[in-house]
């Protein structure tokens, strides 16, 4: 693991830049992470991020797109609108979670 400086934060990341310790995350850091990938967070983004973080805390793994839709109530089409092109990957990055299983 590597320690990276992102804005004013020092966080542990893996070789792809995903945070490895979700406890180091906060909403201010999420804003910086989002801006790095061209996103401006709104209420719907926060809903997805909060569900993903709560689900990770309960289950120990980052939710997939399917889980976001079925358990989180956020349709896949909406996830693509919120986090274009690679929604699960981008959502987990901004939420400070490990990359979801199955993402390339």
Q: If you ran DSSP here, which 8-state letter would residue 75 be given?
A: -
Residue 82 lies in domain: 22-95
Q: Rounded CA gap, 88 and 2, in Å?
A: 22
Q: Within a domain: residue 37?
A: yes
Q: Within a domain: residue 79?
A: yes
3 state SS for 34-66: HHHCCCCCCHHHHHHHHHHHHHHHHHCCCCCHH
In the chain, the number of structural domains is 1
Percent pLDDT > 70 in the chain is 96
| Residues 92/54/28/48 CA torsion (nearest 10 deg) | 60
pLDDT interval class at 102 (50, 70, 90): low
Q: Within a domain: residue 102?
A: no
Q: Which of 6, 37, 69, 103 is catalytic?
A: 103
What digits encode the pLDDT tens for the residues 15-63? 999 999 999 999 999 999 999 999 999 999 999 999 999 999 999 999 9
Q: Rounded CA gap, 30 and 53, in Å?
A: 12
Task: Considering only CA atoms, give the Rg of the chain.
Answer: 13
What's the angle, vertex CA 44, arms to CA 76 and CA 46, rounded to 5?
Answer: 110
CB 47 within 8 A of CB 74: yes
Q: Within a domain: residue 101?
A: no
Q: Is 96 a catalytic residue?
A: no
Say what the pTM is: 0.91
């Amino acid at each position: 693991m590597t320690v990276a400086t992102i804005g004013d934060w020092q966080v542990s990341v893996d070789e792809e830049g995903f945070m490895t310790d979700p406890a180091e995350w906060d909403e201010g850091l999420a804003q910086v992470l989002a801006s790095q990938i061209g996103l401006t967070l709104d209420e719907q983004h926060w809903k997805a991020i909060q569900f993903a973080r709560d689900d990770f805390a309960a289950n120990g793994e980052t939710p997939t797109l399917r889980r976001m839709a079925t358990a989180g109530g956020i349709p896949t089409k909406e996830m693509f609108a919120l986090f274009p092109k690679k929604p699960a990957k981008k959502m987990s990055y901004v939420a400070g979670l490990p990359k979801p299983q199955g993402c390339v």
